[in-house]
Structure 1
Amino acid sequence: MADLRDRKRQRAREKIVEAAFALFAERGFADVTVTEIAERAEVGRTTFFRYFGDKQEVVFADEQGLLDEMTAHQRSLGMVSTKDVVVALRQLRPTVLALCEAITKDEKHYVVHEQLLERNPELHDRSVGKLQHYTETVEGVLIDRGTPREVAVLAAQLALGCFHAGRRLAGLDPTKLVGEVDAAFERVVGKR
């Protein structure tokens, strides 16, 4: 029974996200209300707020899943402790590239998401904070492996910088993100 309930909750959450992104693509973020999202998703406002604190959070609906996936990926790589920033950054590269692949899997969703961040300063600012949270999580994985804090912090921040650079260079083209981020890493640490 719990399985069925969980599936229903997941479907309701997905319907809210789909409805919100469709409305945002049609009319822009500022011109869409929570009520309209709930109506399009065929759920009540109470259901909307059960899953999301506000309409901004819908834009980042995938965050926890991506964070969990990224952390699991990083832990699965069998990295070793290092005092060398370049080695630590090379260890982070596959995880950042996997994250890029995950966020561009649904190309249409990625484009709408990036346009929302580009056109809405409040969403851009929230995105920066969320990316910093990802970075601190990866930093923690490195530290847990015995990497000195100063190396882990620098490597994680440089990895974030490679992501930002690649993202800017890729623009709104999801097919270019992985390549541009990988090229940014290559410019910093050399070939794989």
Structure 2
Amino acid sequence: MSMNTVPTESLRDRKRRKTRERIIETAFALFAERGFDVVTVDEIAQRADIGRTTFFRYFGDKQEVVFSTEGDLLHALNTAMRTAPAEPLQDLARALATSRRLLLVLCAEASLNPGHHAVYYRLIKQHPDLEDRHTRKTRHYADLLEKHLIAHGAPLAIAVLAAQLTFACYQTAWRLGGDDAKAVLREANNAADLLLSATVS
């Protein structure tokens, strides 16, 4: 088999993927209609036309459904890191330029489903426990970024500073863009540009 051959998805895998997607779309529709607290797993399963047991094959609870795109975001970030130019990042400006590219990869991935993001944003703002998990998730991305910068030659102090500043750019974009995924992507780009311009000036 050629090294460039993309493995085809089996019928079983395709059915599993479609079932998972149906659970997510159904749950988000119910969350948008009625709120997170009152929606039950049984309601999600019934509307998705699956059994309760099937739901738990895919998700441990409702909260896991809210964060169902986390794997896609991590995959996008890890792919971008693997394919990043192998350039030495020994100063803050270069580290921030690399961080900016990776930040925009994350925001672009999140913007692929604007309706999903809008519901997700509202859920996060309404529920402190979900907001806490969201914050821990984004801090995990900052930690991954820090390790990436160190692996590409950035001194520890620069790697930590660049990762935390990039995290601040994301927080800025999240606050300004709100439930509009495209606006979050735009504001992340603007914040990173402002940061870079201040660094090189």
The bucket for the TM-score relative to the shorter chain is: over 0.9
TM-score, normalized by length of structure 1?
A: 0.93
Shift of 1:4: 1.3
CA deviation string 1:84-122 (max 9, x = no partner):
223201111012112111111211111111011111111
Aligned residues: percent identity?
Answer: 45
The total of aligned residue pairs comes to 192
Structure 1 equivalent of residue 102 of structure 2: 95
- Find out whether 1:38 has 2:29 as its counterpart: no
In structure 2, C-alpha distance between the alignment counterparts of 1:44 and 1:30, rounded to whole Å: 21
Structure 2 equivalent of residue 18 of structure 1: 25
Specify the SS of the correspondent of 1:190.
helix
TM-score, normalized by length of structure 2?
A: 0.89
Shift of 1:145: 1.9
Match of 1:167 among 153, 156, 174: 174
Between 136-145 and 125-134, the greater mean CA deviation after superposition: 136-145
Structure 2 equivalent of residue 150 of structure 1: 157
Which runs of no fewer than 5 residues in structure 2 stay unpaired?
1-8
Letter in 1 for 2:184: L
User: Aligned-residue CA RMSD in angstroms?
Assistant: 1.9
Larger gyration radius, structure 1 or structure 2: 2
Match of 1:47 among 28, 42, 54: 54
Match of 1:136 among 140, 143, 154: 143
Query: CA contact under 8 A between 1:70 and 1:98: conserved in structure 2?
Result: yes
Shift of 1:149: 2.5
Structure 1 equivalent of residue 5 of structure 2: none
Query: CA contact under 8 A between 1:89 and 1:155: conserved in structure 2?
Result: yes
CA deviation string 1:48-93 (max 9, x = no partner):
1111121101011010111111121133120423232232011110
CA deviation string 1:5-63 (max 9, x = no partner):
11111111111101100000000001111111111111122221111121101011010
Letter in 2 for 1:34: V
- Find out whether 1:59 has 2:66 as its counterpart: yes
In structure 2, C-alpha distance between the alignment counterparts of 1:145 and 1:82, rounded to whole Å: 6
Specify the SS of the correspondent of 2:154.
coil
Specify the SS of the correspondent of 1:12.
helix
In structure 2, C-alpha distance between the alignment counterparts of 1:7 and 1:153, rounded to whole Å: 41
